[in-house]
Amino acid sequence: MAEIGYTLMCEQTPTRRLVDDAVSAERAGFDYEAMSDHYFPWLEEMGHSSYAWSVLGAVAHATERIPLMTYVTCPIMRYHPAVVAQKAATMGALSDGRFTLGLGAGENLNEHVVGRGWPPVNIRHEMFGEAVEIIQALFSGDYISYRGDHYTVDSAKLYDLPDEPVPVGIAASGPQSADLAAEYGDALIAVHPDAHLVDRFHATGGEGKPVYGQVAVSYDTDVEAAKERAHRLWRWFAADWKVLSELPAPVNFASYAKFVRPDDVASQVPCGDDPDKVVEAVKKFIDAGFTHVALVQIGAEHQQEFLTWAEKELLPALRDL
């Protein structure tokens, strides 16, 4: 049976409420919690984007048993990889080993803020590979010096490490990144139920490692209200990653999505209060070989009622898969 997670979305939820939602999700019985790491929301209507690492520290203190992870952090521009390694190690120690570092090659949306431009995808993949090497090396606890094509590390050492190294999950959307995940990662992360991607990961060294996915849902007892909210806040998701990674600002996501219809979103996002719709969406990931699937409830103001419904109806239905 897959582990079922709950996603904390900094892009749609006020900062203090994120911690409350995390505590409620643990009490509701979710198996793990994932948190996005953004500078901007995808759309202005989402309205928020707090600093993920401050919130994660508060969540680690406020929760007791539930594993935590980033889904995902980009270590190539906004953060230097040596700093990401320090943050992740601190989270591992603070949470008593409950933290997994999810890494990805990033989006222009969040990384352009440091004013270094947005490199083409082949360069980003080179940068990402070097970044992962640096992070994994620093997790050893030794002094590390590194000189690559994109990054230099001068005699760095992490002094506060958890008892066990922080697991690293690597986001992939194609064969190259799946191979990188298999070589350097402890887990694969993907946003679509792509069995070919999972097979590639397994074939190149990832056999037996966890595979993480994510399903957006829009819970409401009124199906039409759920569809309206999903369209208002999640219409950007209709694009594939080649588009999502390149757009620089919420206004660009809104421009792209202006022709996306409510029914287009509802075809991808289970809307309403029928657990079977969510079970069907999660089952696609499980059938593709995913071992972990996190749920994203769309709309900050509906988190608590979603969590109540999840505890009573949805999670029991998912456990029966």
36 to 24, 124, 136: CA distances (angstroms): 18, 20, 21
> How many of the other CB atoms lie within 10 Å of CB of 147?
9
**Beta carbons within 8 Å of 226's beta carbon, 6+ residues apart:** 218, 219, 220, 271, 272
* Amino acid identity for residue 219 in this structure: Y
Residue 30 near residue 2, CB atoms below 8 Å? no
Question: What is the 3 state secondary structure string of 52-88?
Answer: HHHHHHHHHHHCCCCCEEECCECCCCCCCHHHHHHHH
CA distance 53 to 37: 8
Largest CA-CA distance found in the chain, in angstroms, rounded: 58
11, 26, 33, 38: the catalytic one is 38
Pairing of strands 271-272, 99-103: unpaired
The catalytic position among 11, 26, 33, 107 is: 107
User: Rounded to an integer, what is the distance from CA 137 to the centroid of its chain?
Assistant: 23
State yes or no: is 125 an active-site residue. no
Burial class of residue 262 (count of CB atoms within 10 Å of its CB; 0-12, 13-18, 19+): middle
48 is catalytic: no
Using alpha carbons only, give the angle 85, 89, 95 rounded to the nearest 5 degrees: 145
| Burial of 118 per CB tally in 10 Å (0-12, 13-18, 19+) | middle
> Which H/E stretch holds residue 251?
helix 250-256
Which sequence positions are flagged as catalytic? 38, 107
